[in-house]
């Protein structure tokens, strides 16, 4: 389960356990709270940034478009699909890339954006954790 960038190497036994993994060379780690404790501040801030990034209809359209297409798209293609100006789309793409929902691939002078499957896969888990539901058990490579 990949949730947030690791900020330290120590698990706080009072608040819960850490789950970790890697994505494109970056180590991620999250602290899962016990049922009777709030999320730690760093995790809450990370989750808030994710929810904030999706708090705009155009950004929802962009994420939905890229997820449904399943292939990288450049800014011009995204502009044509969501019928919003190029500068507005570019600003929204930056917000989505900053929270790692999207990854940017540079090809010559064009930049192609694609869904970051690892981060998008963990978003429902983040929503569940915020709402007090237990975190789902990670699926091991052996059982998948």
User: pLDDT of 54-108, one tens digit each?
Assistant: 899 999 999 999 999 999 999 999 999 999 999 999 999 999 999 999 999 999 9
Q: Which domain range does residue 115 map to?
A: 41-130
Decide: residue 92, CB within 10 A, 0-12 exposed, 13-18 middle, 19+ buried: buried
- The count of structural domains within the chain is 1
CATH number, domain of 72, equals 1.10.10.10
Please give the Cα distance from 144 to 142 (Å, whole number): 6
Is residue 68 domain-resident? yes
**Where does 48-90 show beta strands of DSSP type E?**
73-74
Is residue 96 one of the residues assigned to a domain? yes
pTM passes above 0.75: no
Residue 46 lies in a domain: yes
Grade residue 125 by pLDDT with cuts at 50, 70 and 90: confident
pLDDT tens-digit profile of 32-62?
555 667 878 888 888 888 889 989 999 999 9
Assess if residue 21 is contained within a domain.
Answer: no
d(CA 95, CA 93): 5
CA dist 74 and 89 (Å) reads: 11
């Amino acid at each position: 389960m990949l949730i947030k960038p690791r900020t330290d190497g120590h698990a706080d036994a009072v608040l819960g356990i850490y789950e970790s993994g890697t994505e494109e060379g970056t180590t991620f780690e999250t602290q899962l709270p016990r049922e009777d404790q709030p999320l730690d501040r760093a995790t809450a801030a990370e989750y808030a940034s994710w929810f904030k990034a999706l708090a705009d209809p155009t950004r929802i359209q962009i994420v939905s478009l890229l997820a449904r297409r399943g292939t990288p798209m450049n800014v011009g293609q995204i502009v044509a699909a969501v019928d919003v100006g190029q500068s507005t789309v570019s600003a929204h793409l930056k917000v989505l890339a900053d929270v790692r929902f999207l990854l940017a691939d540079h090809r010559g002078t064009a930049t192609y954006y694609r869904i970051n499957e690892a981060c998008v896969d963990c978003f429902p888990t983040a929503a569940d954790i915020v709402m007090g539901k237990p975190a789902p058990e990670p699926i091991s490579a052996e059982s998948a």
